[in-house]
Structure 1
Amino acid sequence: MAKNALQAQLLKAGLVDTKKAKKLTKQAAHAKRTGNAPDAEIKKSVAEAQAEKLKRDQELNQQRQQALEEKTLRANIVQMINQHQITDTQGDIEYRFVDDSKIKKMNITQKLFDQIVAGHVSIARLEEGYALLPRPLADRINEKLEGFIVESNDKAEDEPAEDDPYAAYVIPDDLMW
């Protein structure tokens, strides 16, 4: 009659009679069939917790994937800069530029100086130093990921505003300081 040891012990002790034991057994079986058993609530909460964990794991994997893609893009850009940088730069003219609110200087040739001023050559960050790049490549790099190009003279940006009181006083780009 008793389906488990607890019911048998309760019947033996006289705490529960056989009618009540049958009724409890029927209720448990009915609850199990309809899904109203206490186990169903536990299973439901476990399933919800697993769904939340799966969602969190997917978000973390997506963040890791984005970080990996950005790292790969950075490595590709550094490789592009290394391959296409202008190598013959050593000269006796100092070119000063601003990087992170600090004034930096490079010794370059007069030809490169003129090309930088004209906007045909740009300065890019490369590990601890700087590299000179052709302007089209610098624009492509800046499109992919900003932060590598330090200085890129663009004539369109240098046009004065309409209400600029100093518009008549043009500062030359090749000013030596």
Structure 2
Amino acid sequence: MSLQDQLMKAGLVSKHDAKKANKAKHRALKSGKKVINEAKADAAQKRVDQAERDRQLNAERKAEADKKAVQAQIRQLITVNAQSRDKGELAYNFSDNGRITKIFVTPALQQGLVNGQLAIATLDDKYHLIATAVAEKVAQRDASAIVLLNDKAKDAVDEDDPYADYQIPDDLMW
């Protein structure tokens, strides 16, 4: 039983309308024109559009998941490798986003910061002291997480510097 027969039986289409549709279809076939089923074309276009939307959503979800994974890696690197600042009595000043900030450290930690062996990282609005190697790994993932990383290589003295004999001490308190 064809769709046309089912529609006539349900009373949705009359015999006259069915014959008219058959004649139009027959004429189109005889004249060489292809009969285009608009419903099929619309359905195919909707499937293509839906597939494109799905690809975009999947790409966005993947990017978000990658971002969360990187943040989790940074969190783990900082929390596992953080140096304890307990009993720190020396104030160490540094610049964070244009603001002078102070943390209290022990003399050994201060020397590590000055020598470039330690770096200051921020996590959850708190400052953590981590080793330089760990800080470089964190900086590869997100450079904004590292607040201070002293590099001794850039402190090399220029041969023509007239003030080479007058070095500023690194542990100068300000």
Common topology (TM > 0.5): yes
Aligned match of 2:35: 36
Report the equivalent of 2:173. 176
2:56 aligned residue (59, 62, 73): 59
In structure 1, the residue matched to 2:27 is: 27
Amino acid at match of 1:110: P
Does 1:50 find its partner at 2:58?
A: no
The equivalent position to 1:78 in structure 2, one of 70, 75, 78, is 75
| Aligned-pair CA distance for 1:172 | 3.1
SS at match of 2:101: strand
2:136 maps to 139
Structure 2 CA distance, aligned partners of 1:110 and 1:22? 96
Question: Post-superposition shift, 1:8?
Answer: 2.1
SS for the counterpart of 2:154 is coil
RMSD: 3.5
Q: CA deviation at 1:145?
A: 2.6
Per-residue deviation, 1:46: 3.0
8 Å Cα contact 1:89-1:112 kept in structure 2: no
Q: Pick 1 or 2: higher relative contact order, CA cutoff 8 A, min separation 6.
A: 2
Aligned pair in 2 of structure 1 residues 21, 46: CA closer, same or farther (>3 Å)?
A: closer
- Partner SS for 2:152: coil
Structure 1 segments of 4 or more deviating over 4 A? Answer: 3-7, 20-23, 159-170
Query: Contact 2:25–2:35 (CA<8 Å) still a contact in 1?
Result: no
Q: Which amino acid aligns with 2:64?
A: A
Q: Which residue of 1 aligns with 2:90?
A: 93
Unaligned stretches of 5+ in structure 2?
A: none
Corresponding position of 2:16: 8
Normalised by the length of structure 1, the TM-score is 0.74
Q: Percent identity?
A: 33
Distance verdict in 2 for CA 1:6–1:164, change over 3 Å = farther
Matched, 1:114 2:108: no
Equivalent-residue separation in structure 2 for 1:106 and 1:21 (angstroms): 85
Residues 21 and 45 (structure 1 numbering): CA distance in 2 closer, same or farther, change over 3 Å? Answer: closer
